[in-house]
Structure 1
Amino acid sequence: MDERLIRERERLERAWQQYITSGARVPVTEDLLASWARSARTVPPERVSAPVENDADVQHAWRESRLEHASRPLLAELSALAEDGDLIVAIADAGGQLLWTSGSDRMHRLARGINFVPGGHWDESSVGTNALALALRTRQTVRVFAAEHYVQTVHDWVCYSSPIRDPRTGEVLGVLDFSTTWERSTPLGLTSTRHYAGLIEQGLGAGQGRKEGLTLYLCGPPRVTLHGRRLHLTPRQHELLAVLALCPGGLTLDAMHAHVYGDQPVSLSTLKSEISTLRTLLGGGIASRPYRLSLPVQFDGAISEAALLAGQPGRALDVYNGPLLPHSASPFLTYWREYLDAALREAVFRSRDPELLWRYALRFEDPELLLELETLLAAGDPRLPLVRARRAALGDP
């Protein structure tokens, strides 16, 4: 066995034990120490396994994801690599939830014991410091070895993770991870992970020209694309799309009128005309009886809500750029606007994660949240005077 690896493992185990028992500064990297500190707020070091979602839901999410389409030509090769190298290979979404895994029999057995399986949540707030979470946070390829993991049950592992980015926008869509037991650690792990993540990114890029469906960015400055092409719509058309996206089962004309106009004196024939115009702009993408969108839809409001329901406020904040159509007087959209605003704020506030609160504070003026952030930031944190100045500017004593 490699003596260098043994010494590294023993050194890290001593540092981890000292940190867990005393919280003292220990000789590890700043990134690792910061991750341990964040982990300590939400994760007991004795946690045995990751929380896991329903398998059927995860399979559906995987089949429908861009990651699956982009990685499909590589899955057989990745599975063979995992079998031959005694690894487990995983692809996770941008929130750290595993969507697909493949590995040797030995690694599959070990993985099941800690829920390193499809549906497992490997974000930092669920299982503490790990390679997937750090790759998503730093947007870099990372290695987490042995006791660098915050949770003791993963101290026998070494993991290499690389973010998977949208080649067009740079958005991190997920992460690729190679994992095995610590004694099999190799410098090639980082290179291999980055290589295959790059191939998946190439697959994402190849699919850009064939992008199908309707994408609605309505939380914040509105932007709508159809099959990758931007549509320039009126505020009323944005409202109609938001209502239809939030009611995928469809609405009668009367219900549509109530959702959009409430008590305003607008005739049903006017609404029918507006829907007809929008249908033409969407290339026939609105069905009737009931009225519903008849093409694939990605809607930032629904994505944000789904992330909150999954306990992933960071992911929700990633896609939430502001209130839902803030100038709309639609009673239905007013409800959804207030609901999403309140739900996101509450989730961020309750996380007590200073990084998450800081991200929220950069976008939204909230004296109470700034006060909470001030109590959570370390005394020497360079953001502390900025938080205090922001509070003062908002008139908060």
Structure 2
Amino acid sequence: MTNATIDLVRLAAMDSVHAARVLRGVRDAALSGQRPPVEPRPVIEESWGRMLRGGVDPDRDVRNGLLSREELEERRRSSGLAEVLPELRRGLVSIADAAQHIMVVADTEGRVLWREGSSAVLRMADGHGFELGADWTEATVGTNGVGTPLITRRPVQVFSAEHFVRTHHNWTCAGSPVTDPRDGRLIGVVDVSGPLDTMHPATLALVHSVTRLAEAELRTRHLTTLDRLRTTAVPLLAGIKGRALVVDSHGWTAAVTGMAPADRIALPKSFGPGRAWLPSLGECRIEPLPGGWLLRPDESEDGRPGTSATVLLDLSSPRHWTVTVTGDTGSWTHELTPRHAELLYLLAVSPTGSTAPALAGELFGDPGRAVTVRAELSRIRRYLAGLLEGRPYRFREDVDVRVTLPDDPADLLPQSRVRTVVRARRGERV
């Protein structure tokens, strides 16, 4: 093998001992600052860089304390993953057991909530600290099939010495993030792991496919509950004069009267009965309903946050990003998906604006995907009503836009491949 980038298909063609030896050579060279015989895969090289900057010990297995049984059960109840556990079991457990693997399900903080599969492999996992309630974030155990997908927001397979910590080199794992289709938030990671001689490049595709089925199950359940709420909402709205709508707890619209329908209203994290300012609706009276909320906008409001507004784009965390709007009528915070965080960053660093083709070139390397960009920006404008303009897309001139960046530029949106973001991570001017 020459100085090409390593790939899992070529590794799988070798016997596991040879493949592990090749990867150890790559890792040792990378950690010593030498040119490796084969370039590591980009996702692995970037993860190793995060470990070196974060001070993770490559030669010592460091573990945080396990969750108590009470904490574990509470996380299981609140994670949202319990709803799709039967789907994950149907798709993975029997296959993992037969292939001498285990299935592991972790939450957004990398805590192992469930694990099932081969009893022999479960005992091996205990030796690695891969136990119920364990912390498997990158910052604790280095590059791995749970923590790395949490950072990259994409499926990742890690084989042998691609694990940053040496004590995990007899292990292979493939993990895929799970996103809740109701609000776009990451809710956890599903991982299939086992001894290094069980590695197969198709494992990752299998895990990713099963997580997509689990997300589809969440989507189906959501539509069912929305239909149930609509049954309550329609007769209720029939007796109301003026503008009103009923939404579920995630802001999806069940029924509307006196105004144009919207698929979804962005709701702040802290939300309850009383009064609140909401994007696109303005000041609203809020009343609770079984499974949702009745929203009654004030007729004098136009949905704008006021004559002046401050937009704070908080990208300081490598995993969670928010936008906060503060105006004359109040303050409101919304958690961002990775794509929306990228788009708002591009607009924030380009005050004169950008066209849809130019943004598509940044996001996808293909200006022809402008339609996709316009669709995403339409979704963004639902919660930044009146603050974004088009042709070109930009923030209004009277809006004070501020961006909070990570202390280390290399931690800026680590999952992103956008050229402007990559340059910023390198410390270059954008």
Normalised TM-score (structure 2)? 0.55
Give the C-alpha shift of residue 4 in structure 1: 3.0
Give the equivalent residue in structure 1 for 2:324. 322
- Contact 1:90–1:176 (CA under 8 A) maintained in structure 2: yes
Give the equivalent residue in structure 2 for 1:149. 163
Matched residues in 2 for 1:34 and 1:133: separation? 13
Matched residues in 2 for 1:138 and 1:239: separation? 26
In structure 2, relative to structure 1, the CA distance for the partners of 1:30 and 1:2 (3 Å cut) is closer
- Paired residue secondary structure (1:56): helix
Structure 2 residue corresponding to 1:226, chosen from 248, 254, 261: 248
In structure 2, relative to structure 1, the CA distance for the partners of 1:3 and 1:283 (3 Å cut) is closer
- Contact 2:60–2:166 (CA under 8 A) maintained in structure 1: yes
Give the equivalent residue in structure 1 for 2:189. 175
Give the equivalent residue in structure 2 for 1:48. 61
- Structure with the higher fraction of residues in helix conformation: 1
* Higher RCO structure (Cα 8 Å, ≥6 apart): 1
Matched residues in 2 for 1:48 and 1:387: separation? 31
Give the C-alpha shift of residue 28 in structure 1: 1.4
Structure 2 residue corresponding to 1:94, chosen from 97, 108, 124: 108
* Unaligned residue ranges in structure 1 (runs of 5+): 215-222, 233-237, 246-255, 261-273, 287-311, 345-356, 391-397
* Unaligned residue ranges in structure 2 (runs of 5+): 1-11, 230-244, 257-265, 277-282, 294-315, 336-340, 349-400, 413-420
Equivalent pairs counted in the alignment come to 297
Give the equivalent residue in structure 2 for 1:6. 17
Matched residues in 1 for 2:159 and 2:291: separation? 53
- Contact 1:95–1:315 (CA under 8 A) maintained in structure 2: no
- Paired residue secondary structure (1:48): coil
Give the equivalent residue in structure 1 for 2:94. 80
- Which residues of 2 match residues 1-397 of structure 1 at below 5 A? 3-20=14-31, 22-26=32-36, 27-42=39-54, 43-51=56-64, 52-75=66-89, 78-167=92-181, 171-211=185-225, 225-228=247-250, 229-230=252-253, 242=270, 278-279=286-287, 282=289, 313-317=317-321, 320-322=322-324, 327=328, 365=402, 373=409, 383-384=423-424, 389=429
Q: Which amino acid aligns with 1:37?
A: G
Matched residues in 2 for 1:240 and 1:168: separation? 14
- Paired residue secondary structure (1:28): coil
- Paired residue secondary structure (2:209): helix
Give the C-alpha shift of residue 68 in structure 1: 1.3
In structure 2, relative to structure 1, the CA distance for the partners of 1:24 and 1:201 (3 Å cut) is same
Matched residues in 2 for 1:373 and 1:389: separation? 11
Give the C-alpha shift of residue 190 in structure 1: 2.2
Offset from partner CA, 1:2-60 (integer Å, 9 cap, x none):
8532221101111212223x133422122221110111122111332443433322222
Q: Which amino acid aligns with 2:146?
A: L
**Please, which moves more after superposition, 193-202 or 163-172?**
163-172
Give the C-alpha shift of residue 385 in structure 1: 10
Matched residues in 1 for 2:410 and 2:157: separation? 32
- Contact 1:374–1:388 (CA under 8 A) maintained in structure 2: no
Q: Which amino acid aligns with 2:60?
A: R
In structure 2, relative to structure 1, the CA distance for the partners of 1:141 and 1:386 (3 Å cut) is closer
Matched residues in 2 for 1:375 and 1:169: separation? 24
Matched residues in 1 for 2:28 and 2:425: separation? 33
In structure 2, relative to structure 1, the CA distance for the partners of 1:225 and 1:50 (3 Å cut) is farther
Percent identity between matched residues is: 26
Give the C-alpha shift of residue 225 in structure 1: 4.2
Normalised TM-score (structure 1)? 0.59
In structure 2, relative to structure 1, the CA distance for the partners of 1:54 and 1:9 (3 Å cut) is same
Matched residues in 2 for 1:360 and 1:36: separation? 28
Give the C-alpha shift of residue 62 in structure 1: 1.5
Give the C-alpha shift of residue 92 in structure 1: 1.9
Q: Which amino acid aligns with 1:174?
A: G
